[in-house]
């Protein structure tokens, strides 16, 4: 069965800190790994990493994929209070199914 | 336009009621999904439609009945639900495989 494990489950930091969120996975016939940010409502898409795109960056957020060691990290630099959210990692194997980890709840205090 | 719209945003129903949740996307995406999310838990897949055909049913109880009338619309018919079915129901769509999913804002369902 496909499995996604995120760590830590929660994290409290101060504005300006840099954080690293972890995601490890076991999936049959890996196709992609996705990061989402969820505040009060729907998850919003951040990055998709595949065999042909193992590193992504957008502003203060960046992510890498290590296909050999089966993990990904999401980095957020110079955190702001608006970064407070649950960050979800999800993987796709050989089917349409997207399997989510339990998420990391990030709280950024002023 | 990267929007998935869901209606209603909130729904309260009794255990004997029949209601429906609706989802619409106009991005030309070929796959549409229903997820269920309980408080402080990740989304759990319920159904996947690919090219308007049901491709995945994650052993969901028959009191939930999905329907895909066309490539832009996805419904979830609800009947004889239980209080434990109260949750946020998220619809999503994706262009291709293994592309990203775009989520709607969800329908928050309360079963009394």
A48 vs B100: CB contact, 8 Å cut-off?
A: yes
- The arithmetic mean of pLDDT across residues A56-75, rounded, is 94
Instruction: Please give the interface size between A and B, counted as residue pairs whose CB atoms are below 8 Å apart.
Output: 53
Q: In angstroms, what CA-CA distances link B82 with B11, B79, B110?
A: 14, 9, 9
B98/A32 touch (CB, cutoff 8 Å), yes or no: yes
pLDDT at A83 over 60: yes
3-state secondary structure string across B5-71: EEECCEEEECCCCEEEEEEEECCCCCEEEEEEECCCCCCEEEEEEECCEEEEECCCCCCEEEEEEEC
Is residue A69's pLDDT more than 90?
no
User: In chain B, which residue's Cα lies nearest the Cα of A39?
Assistant: B105
Which pLDDT score is estimated for A71?
A: 93
Read off the pLDDT of residues A4-43 as tens digits, 9 standing for 90 and up: 999 999 999 999 999 999 999 999 889 999 999 999 888 9
Average pLDDT, chain A: 93
At B102 the pLDDT is: 93
| Full DSSP string of A2-68 | -EEEEE-SEEEEETT--EEEEEEEE-TT--EEEEEEESSSS-EEEEEEBTTB-EEEETTEEEEEETT
Please give the average per-residue pLDDT across A43-50, as a whole number.
93
A81 close to B (CB below 8 A): no
Q: Is the pLDDT of residue A90 over 90?
A: yes
* Assigned token pair, A18: 């840099």
Chain A hits for B56, Cβ within 8 Å: 95-97
Looking at residue A89, what is its pLDDT? 97
Cβ–Cβ below 8 Å for B42 and A42: no
B60 touches chain A (CB under 8 A): no
Surface of A (17-56) touching B: CB under 8 A? 31-32, 34, 36, 41-45, 48, 50
Could you tell me how far CA B112 lies from the centroid of its own chain?
A: 20
Query: Mean per-residue pLDDT for A34-57?
Result: 90
- What's the pLDDT at B2? 58
- Residue contact B102–A97, C-beta within 8 A: no
B103 touches chain A (CB under 8 A): yes
More confident residue, B1 or B11: B11
């Amino acid at each position: 069965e496909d499995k996604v494990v995120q760590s830590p489950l929660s994290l409290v930091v101060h504005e300006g800190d840099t954080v690293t969120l972890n995601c490890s996975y076991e999936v049959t016939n890996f196709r992609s790994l996705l990061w989402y940010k969820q505040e009060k409502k729907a998850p919003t898409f951040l990055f998709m990493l595949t065999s042909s795109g193992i590193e992504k960056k957008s502003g203060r957020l960046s992510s890498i994929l290590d296909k050999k060691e089966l993990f990904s990290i999401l980095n957020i630099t110079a955190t702001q209070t608006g970064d407070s959210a649950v960050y979800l990692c999800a993987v796709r194997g050989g089917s349409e199914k997207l399997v989510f980890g339990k998420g990391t709840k990030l709280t950024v205090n002023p | 336009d990267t929007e998935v719209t869901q209606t209603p945003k909130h729904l309260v129903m009794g255990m004997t009621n029949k209601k429906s949740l609706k989802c619409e996307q106009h991005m030309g995406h070929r796959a549409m999904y229903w997820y269920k999310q309980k408080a402080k838990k990740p989304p759990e897949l319920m159904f996947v439609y690919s090219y308007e055909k049901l491709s995945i049913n994650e052993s969901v109880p028959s009191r939930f009945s999905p329907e895909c009338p066309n490539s832009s619309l996805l419904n979830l018919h609800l009947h004889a639900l239980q209080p434990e079915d109260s949750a946020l129901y998220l619809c999503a769509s994706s262009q291709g495989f293994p592309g990203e999913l775009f989520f709607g804002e969800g329908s928050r369902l309360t079963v009394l």
